[in-house]
Structure 1
Amino acid sequence: MDLVQNFSKHKYAPAKQSILRDIVVCMALLLCGKLSIPTIEATLHCFRPIISHYDYLISVASMSLDSNESVRDDEHHPGQWFVDMTLFLWDSIPLTANVSQSVFPNSISIILDFMYKYLSDENDNLINKVLVSARNIEIKCLGVIHMKTDKFFNEMKHLTEQSFLRNEKTVTYIIESYLANQTASKEKYLLFVQDLLTAIKRVEGIEGDKDKYG
């Protein structure tokens, strides 16, 4: 699909080109309701920023990202396909301190914003699936940045199925777990709390303001 190949700023191996193509195809189906050259062109033109973001995610994904065979093409359910592709890409990006600070915060904000705007109300389960993944990533990033490990997530993963704001004890539990961690810096406690609250606002704040994306 030359239109998609010409869109990308990166020179990809065929497998990564296929991933970008699938992103554009499922977006065209989701947003236009059918697949054709005009709908592909319209999608590339009108949604250039979000497609460019996915192009960027593909570029920073693991070098071992050879294909998206684990994601089933589903032209009859483009919302599901789009969500599966998103989670596949997030999972393919190596979690380092630099990535935790430079890639995921922006990506989570951009993608949640787009999904609240363009996934219909019938897709609440899909959005919840993305929110769970976003919460998982946020906790892992906090561990990598502040404790130099993603193992911190193992203690927190039971919390990510629901909003961090649903239970008032959740934030307290996360902070207490940080203080109890042997690798945590007590001197940087306030920075951890600040980053935690920023992460919660990034995920749950968008969820709470859902109506503005209607």
Structure 2
Amino acid sequence: MTATAVTIRPAAAHEHEPAARLLADAFAHDPLVRAATARASAPNAARAAIFRTSLSTTLDQGGTVLVAVDEGTLLGAAIILDPSRGRLRTLAGRVRAGGRFLRMLPLLGRRGLTLLNDADRASRRHAPGDPHHVLTAVGVTAAARGRGIGRSLVEATVDRAREQGNSWGVRLETENSENVDHYRRWGFDLAASVAVRPVTVHVMVHPVREAGSA
């Protein structure tokens, strides 16, 4: 898939760390990330740890990382969690994920870690009942904004759900109210808005097939 000469493809192993750093930069002004790192002694390191942990946890649970590349330059990235592939694998993945996030405690502090956990729980409470993909994070570099790369990454995630018969669709969350209209234009519906002080978690979903058919 291409957009303005940009190729969207799965990330190679050596691109995982650059993708995490790109997302950390892209989310520097995100309300949730800012609140979670507000009391961190090293906010930049804390922010990088959040996305490094999210990326490695998603891959560990069978998800994928997509990147947008133009002539070898990384311009965007998306972290996508695929539908669960077996209860035991899901439980084991959650245990390992919990361990990884606990290791961020010295960087984020208890308040920051609790906020991230509460936001995730709020999103999962309003998740579709059928197996579905989760777009955990998507971002582009500052220099590449306005080229439609973010939308292409989102559309690639929706395409991934369409191609996999076990997926009802895509779920994402955003704490930036300005993003809600963007995602609506891209086919997402607002499932719920949940106050998780000091932010509001907007849970959005994009069905690709009827409920119960996945």
TM-score by length of 2: 0.31
Question: More strand by proportion, 1 or 2?
Answer: 2
Normalised by the size of structure 1, how large is the TM-score?
0.31
Q: Which has the higher helix share?
A: 1
Please say which structure displays the higher CA radius of gyration. 1
